[in-house]
Structure 1
Amino acid sequence: MNILEKIAAHKRVEVAESKEEVPLEALELLPHFKRKCISLKERLQQFSTGIIAEFKRRSPSHPEINLEAEVEKIALGYAKAGAAGISVLTDEEFFGGSLDDLMQAREAVNLPLLRKDFIIDEYQIYEAKAAGADVILLIAAILNRNQIARFAKTAKKLGLEVLLEVHNEEELERSLMPNLDMIGVNNRNLKTFEIDLENSKNLAEKIPAEYVKISESGISETVAIKELQKSGFQGFLIGGNFMATNDPGKSAAEFIKELKG
């Protein structure tokens, strides 16, 4: 069982408990549920840098990135830095996040927010909407084609955009369908945790033009982004590179300034 399978197995237990504690009808009554979402896709098409700055405290490969991080302060820093959007890790067991982090980020900034989690049930899509997300992540490696289609349709019904994450050509080919807005290529090998930016470049030409292309994981230098832009990427999800510093907002600002420079 690789780490992704382990996370998905735990998530099924977690979601079952959440359904017991907070029924779907209760989620629909929360204030953000009726809020009109902000388009991340449009912002990535408009922003020359396309940085999606991520908030996360830890990960399976890096257990202590920034354990005391304050989401409101960092979200404001990312917004001031000029990020096109913000990704918020809401998984608690493996990443130290929560839906409260997403809600605090929503109160702090008026940017598109991605709920970064491991969605294996439609209930989580309703959770995302109720907590203030604009975009959900669907991970092809843990979902079959029917699940992706069903979850994407539910997201669209709620006004959310959909980012589909793939790791290889097989996942990409079996997962392309309507109701997806963005395709993210994860440069991390989930079996070895090795990073290879060539993964994004190799898959770029196989992603149809109707989808905004996003490169995820392992981006730490502006030169890498400039190379990826040549392959048609408009979004770049960066987390650890900012979060591992004393001031993630400042680090993002310096990175974006250099990228524009």
Structure 2
Amino acid sequence: MNILDKIVAQKKTEVARQQEFVTIDKLRKYDAYNIEVPSLKKHLTDGKHNGIISEYKRKSPSKGIINNISTVENVVPLYEKAGVSGISVLTDSEFFGGNKSDLIAARKVTTVPILRKDFMISSYQVHEAKAIGGSAILLIAAILSYDEAHELSKLAKDLGLDILMEVHSKEELEIVNPLVDVVGVNNRNLKTFEVSLQQSIDLAAAMPNDVVKISESGIYTPEDIFLLRENGFQGFLIGENFMRTKNPGEACIEFSNAIK
């Protein structure tokens, strides 16, 4: 069993337990559930923002602790000041040290679209993403069938959420459905956790020209951004590069100034 299989198995247990604790009917009563949220796709394509989706995360299965000091309240407002197109917040606790309360806190201190970064396998999680203030959900092609992804996508659209579909191969592009707003190429192999920007470059040629493309993981320098832009990418998900610093928000501002 690889790390992705372990995460999905754990997620199924977590979701089943959470549904007993907080029902969908209860989620519908949350304030954020009935509030319109900003669109991630629009912020990636409006020409006013820099295309970066900056990430708030504490740890990862491959790197261990990344940053367990910086708080959402300190980091997220500076991400917005940097002109980012979106902010990704990890809500997986077991493997990434995240929490749904991180996204709730982020929503309170920013007007930027927030991506709920988690391993989405259930319609319950989509309702939950809406209830805690998310603007978009992440769907990982590697763990979903076409029908499963389409069902989750339809619910997300019904709730006013954008969909970011993450792929790792040409074969996984077949799972992308017409409802998907953004397609992201994860440069990290979720089975081996090796990283290469070449993965984005190779897949870009196989993606339709009208698709909003973002590259995820392994982006460390302004030169990486310039290379990806040349290959048709409009968005760049960056987390570890900022979160490993003493001041992630300021690091994001400095990086953003360098790619103007």
Query: Partners in 1 of 2:34 and 2:191 — Cα distance?
Result: 40
Query: Partners in 2 of 1:132 and 1:210 — Cα distance?
Result: 28
Where does residue 220 of structure 1 map in the other structure? 220
Letter in 2 for 1:194: E
Question: What SS class does the counterpart of residue 164 from structure 1 fall into?
Answer: strand
Question: What SS class does the counterpart of residue 193 from structure 1 fall into?
Answer: coil
* 1:14 CA displacement: 0.2
Letter in 1 for 2:79: Y
Kept in 2: contact 1:54–1:87 (CA 8 A): yes
Query: Partners in 2 of 1:155 and 1:210 — Cα distance?
Result: 21
Where does residue 156 of structure 2 map in the other structure? 155
Question: What SS class does the counterpart of residue 237 from structure 2 fall into?
Answer: strand
Post-superposition Cα deviations, 1:79-135, rounded to whole Å, max 9, x if no partner, equal 111111100000000011111000000000000000000001000000000000000
Bigger CA drift: 175-184 or 105-114? 175-184
Question: What SS class does the counterpart of residue 53 from structure 2 fall into?
Answer: strand
Matches within 5 A, 1:13-52: 13-47=13-47, 49-52=50-53
Query: Partners in 2 of 1:89 and 1:69 — Cα distance?
Result: 14
Where does the alignment leave 5 or more consecutive residues of structure 2 unmatched? none
Where does residue 233 of structure 1 map in the other structure? 233
Letter in 1 for 2:12: R
Matches within 5 A, 1:1-261: 1-47=1-47, 49-172=50-173, 174-260=174-260
Kept in 2: contact 1:90–1:116 (CA 8 A): yes
Q: Percent identity, aligned pairs only?
A: 51
Query: Partners in 2 of 1:84 and 1:191 — Cα distance?
Result: 28
Kept in 2: contact 1:53–1:83 (CA 8 A): yes
Query: Partners in 1 of 2:234 and 2:62 — Cα distance?
Result: 26
Bigger CA drift: 198-207 or 154-163? 198-207
Kept in 1: contact 2:75–2:249 (CA 8 A): yes
Post-superposition Cα deviations, 1:143-200, rounded to whole Å, max 9, x if no partner, equal 111100000000000000000000111111x212211000000001223221110100
Where does the alignment leave 5 or more consecutive residues of structure 1 unmatched? none
Kept in 2: contact 1:180–1:211 (CA 8 A): no
- TM normalised by structure 2 equals 0.98
Query: Partners in 2 of 1:191 and 1:10 — Cα distance?
Result: 16
Question: What SS class does the counterpart of residue 234 from structure 2 fall into?
Answer: strand
Letter in 1 for 2:185: V
Post-superposition Cα deviations, 1:2-22, rounded to whole Å, max 9, x if no partner, equal 111110000000000000000
Question: What SS class does the counterpart of residue 103 from structure 1 fall into?
Answer: helix
Query: Partners in 2 of 1:91 and 1:12 — Cα distance?
Result: 12
Question: What SS class does the counterpart of residue 233 from structure 1 fall into?
Answer: coil
Query: Partners in 1 of 2:91 and 2:210 — Cα distance?
Result: 28
Bigger CA drift: 192-201 or 212-221? 192-201
Letter in 2 for 1:109: T
